[in-house]
Amino acid sequence: MKNIIYNKEKLTEKEIDETVIRVKALIINSKDEILLGYAYKTYQFPGGHLEGKETLEEALKREVREETGIEIDNKNIQPFEKITYYSSNYRDTGLNRKNEIYYYLIKTDEKPNYNNLNLDEREIKGNYELKYISIENIEKVLINSIPDRSINKIIVEEMMEVLNEFKKNYR
């Protein structure tokens, strides 16, 4: 599994006030289409934060079920990349944060089940929907989304890193 670390301010572990762990899924079907969530004019890989004492895989299964309605099992889950961000004064909170994002490859032809979604208020308010995008077109779609919201530049940059790793080593 590839491990990428972004630490511009050279923070040490002792300087970290909080650590946030998230999981994200690269869900690909046999047509070479990737399933993405779309809300607030922003594309995202399905995923989210760990809750309680969940393992990474338990959180991944829960998040995929909540955001896509797809039930996955351990045999369909393949970890492939971890990205860690160190941030001083995270979002002007005065706290130094370490964000760890674990990416998993899930190959499945199971279709999203909209009746099984469990979206939060923010996702509902943002008109959350699911979109399949071909691997051939995904970079163009993501790049074209950058002007839609200022945060998209950061999100697309991370998604492109993940897609490049997938194409290079897992396709």
pLDDT digit of tens for each residue in the chain (171 aa)? Answer: 899 999 999 999 999 999 999 999 999 999 999 999 999 999 999 999 999 999 999 999 999 999 999 999 888 899 999 999 999 999 999 999 999 999 999 999 999 999 999 999 999 999 999 999 999 999 999 999 999 999 999 999 999 999 999 999 877
User: Residue holding tokens 């762990």?
Assistant: 21
Q: The domain spanning residue 82 has which CATH number?
A: 3.90.79.10
Structural domain boundaries, residue 14: 2-169
CA dist., res. 33 & res. 74, Å (int): 21
What string of DSSP letters covers 24-41?
A: EEEEE-TTSEEEEEEETT
- φ/ψ (deg, to 5) at 163: -65, -40
What is the three-class DSSP state of 150? Answer: coil
> How many other CB atoms are there within 10 angstroms of residue 139's CB atom?
16
Give buried/exposed letters for 91-113 (b at 16+ CB in 10 A, else e). eeeeebbbbbbbbbbbebeeebe
Whole-prediction pTM value? Answer: 0.94
Which residues in the chain belong to E strands, given as ranges?
A: 2-6, 18-28, 33-39, 42-44, 47-49, 77-87, 97-107, 129-134
Task: Report how many domains make up the chain.
Answer: 1
